Amino acid sequence: MIKVLIADDEILVRIGLKSTIDWETEGYELVGEAQNGQEAVALFEQYDPDILMTDIKMPVMDGIELIKTLKERKPDLKCIILSHYNDFEYAQEALNSGANRYILKSDLKAENLLITLKKVSAELDQKGRGNIRPKSQIDTTEFFDDLMYNNDLKRYGSLFLGKYYVMAIGSIKKQPVDLNRDIVSAIENVAFQLKRSNSINYISKIISNKIYYLFHYQKENSNTDDLQSKKIISYLTLLRKNIRQYLDLNIMFAVSREGNSFDNVSTLYYEAIRASQDCFFDGETIVVYHTAMDSPPPLCPKLDFKMLKNYITLSDKKSMNAYINSFFNQLFHIRIKEYVEERFIDFLSFAKVIMNQLGIPQIETLLDEKLNYTSFSRLYTFNNVRSYVLSLYETIIDRYTGDSSEKYSYVMRKSIQYIKENYAQNLTLSSIAAHVEISNSYLSLLFKQETGVNLITYITNYRIEKAKELLLTSNCKIYEIAQMVGFENSYYFSKVFKEITGMTCKQYKNRME
């Protein structure tokens, strides 16, 4: 498809253009819309359009300057001017500056628009559009692939407008880790809206659960002007807040120092990677790299298998927890995430062996879920990993002693008790996690592992059980019972009740009586 970019400060014109024709059916893809020339430049860098449709008079950067700027980067870009009658002299200047056609806004009808588009499209086809990527464009996928695989980046250096660079990596907390296309698109949209309002330049790419940013900019005073660096931190802070608010996703950002040459970009990437380790250990939302992070680490401490087995044999939870906490304290001071993952796997491996040697019942959910090495990827902070291991080994001791009263870990017992005491209130994952002092993601993971159902299902089932009791022991009306067990809407309560029990409230009451 032929890619089209629209630039016009009048929102009604942009809406009109998008709705005048069926772009996709006609063979065109609208890749973006900008309300001034500066925004259009940013979108141009990101999407590499074939055709630009631009107004002449726009704030920040007008259409004539925009055409000149983009034509320098991509000489075969086709430009269509959107003009009023009183802009005719400007339209003439734009044509002299490289525009290919102009359309009067008063004549923006489907037929006229299609005729103009087909004319410039024919010119594109004659020049073999799409066979060779213009050297003036940045393919963000190729760039970040080359960056991550330590390939030569020299060919990209001349394509950036700025002299100064900052690298940032955002880690998205999401279950499961991989994001679907809709979420990726929503994140990109939130980021773009902020980018537009903050006049900040970067290229970005979302890969798995990571967002990679390379910011580039100019500044007046290379020695004292740190406004751009502060602006980047401010942008990331606002982006994180908006994504959390609108998409219910949590992101931690790791940021490099400022580099004053494109030759520094690979180093900046390493710095951001290194800073991300501190996000993991401290739970900070934004961490900036500093040289102390590169101190040579000591050797990774080793686990004592015999000691762990002995504590379990003696059912000595207190000593076992003290040993595990002491071990994690050592890892915390070393601050190498790879060490934590290695020892996490060791803890799980030792647990499997100890359970086999001591004949501890191998409950399916315990083995399949809690002893799964891939759980590490869903534990976003150091304290989550520590809590996970402590909970696992406490559960093993409970299985070994056969104490049925300790079916669940301490955190899970505390969570369930909170649900039982507050089921009539507006319970959420966040409120329960805050009560037991762990993260949302860790509670969600732990709940499914230990109970076999997710948190919301557990709460719903418990509320329905309490509703059954009230139906049989009280004369309350259905809407009153709904409110008493935590449902704000009686219709929704009745619907859920029937889905779970297979009966309406009235049928249930009549049958039980």
DSSP per position, 223-264: TT--HHHHHHHHHHHHHHHHHHHHH--EEEEEE---BSSGGG
H-helix or E-strand spanning residue 24: none
295 CB-near residues (< 8 Å, 6+ apart): none
Confidence at residue 404, expressed as pLDDT on a 0 to 100 scale: 46
**C-beta of residue 198 within 8 angstroms of C-beta of residue 232:** no
Write out 98-143 in H/E/C secondary structure.
CCCEEEEHHHCCHHHHHHHHHHHHHHHHHCCCCCCCCCCCCCHHHH
448-487 tens-digit pLDDT? 878 878 888 899 999 999 998 888 888 888 999 999 999 9
Confidence at residue 375, expressed as pLDDT on a 0 to 100 scale: 83
DSSP letter for 49, please. Answer: -
Query: Per-residue pLDDT averaged across 316-325, rounded?
Result: 94
What are the backbone angles phi and psi of residue 152, rounded to the nearest 5°? -65, 130
pLDDT greater than 50 at residue 148: yes
Work out the burial of residue 216: count CB atoms within 10 Å of its CB; fewer than 13 is exposed, 13-18 middle, 19 or more buried.
buried
d(CA 395, CA 407): 8
Residue type (1 letter), 154: K
Instruction: Give the highest mean pLDDT range of 47-51, 106-110, 471-475.
Output: 47-51
d(CA 240, CA 279): 14
Provide the token pair at 193: 């809206």
Mean pLDDT, the chain, integer: 82
CA angle 37, 43, 49 (to 5 degrees): 105
Confidence at residue 290, expressed as pLDDT on a 0 to 100 scale: 83
pLDDT greater than 70 at residue 10: yes
Place of tokens 């005073």: 221
As a whole number of angstroms, the longest Cα–Cα distance in the chain is 92
d(CA 323, CA 361): 24
d(CA 215, CA 335): 27
Confidence at residue 403, expressed as pLDDT on a 0 to 100 scale: 59
Give residue 208's region: left, alpha or beta (phi > 0; psi -120 to 50): left
pLDDT greater than 80 at residue 92: no
Place of tokens 């009230």: 470
Q: What is the pTM of this model?
A: 0.53
Buried b (16+ CB within 10 A) or exposed e, 141-178: eebbebbeeeeeeeebeebbebebbbbbbbbbbbeeee
CA angle 456, 457, 463 (to 5 degrees): 90
Query: Per-residue pLDDT averaged across 491-511, rounded?
Result: 87
**What confidence category does residue 212 fall into, taking pLDDT thresholds of 50, 70 and 90?**
very high
